[in-house]
Amino acid sequence: MRVTVRLFARLRDIAGASDLARELPGEATADTVWRLLADEHPELAAYRGAVSVAVNAEYARMDARIADGDEIAFLPPVSGG
C-alpha cells in the first residue's frame, strides 16, 4: 500500500523533506510508518515518545491502522517562549 507522510519542524529537518511517499506492507499502523522512517533517519528515534500523529488530518494513536492512500502526519512537541 502507498501512503503519504508529512513531517514538520525538526522532524522535517532531520528527514530533509516535508512530504514523503512510502510503500508499506499489507497491514500497517502509524507506528509501522514511524519505525520505517526511524530506520531511514536514525536521529528521528529520539522523538518517538514525544511525537504526535495524525491520520488523514485527525489526531490518532500510534496503533491506528493505516490504509492505502492515507496521509500520516508526524508533529514534534511544540515549544517556544
Write down the domain spans for the chain: 2-75
Q: Which three cell numbers stand for residue 73?
A: 502526519
Please compute the mean of the pLDDT values over residues 10-25 and round it to a whole number.
95
Q: What's the pLDDT score for residue 78?
A: 79
Contacts for 58-62 with beta carbons within 8 Å, 24 or more apart? 60/30, 61/30, 62/29, 62/30, 62/31, 62/34
Amino acid identity of 48? Answer: R
- The whole-number average pLDDT for the span 25-52 is 95
Query: pLDDT tens digit string along 48-65?
Result: 999 999 999 999 999 999
| 2-75, CATH topology level | Ubiquitin-like (UB roll) (3.10.20)
Confidence of residue 25 (pLDDT cuts 50, 70, 90): confident
pLDDT (0 to 100) of residue 81: 59
Kindly report the pTM of this predicted structure. Answer: 0.92
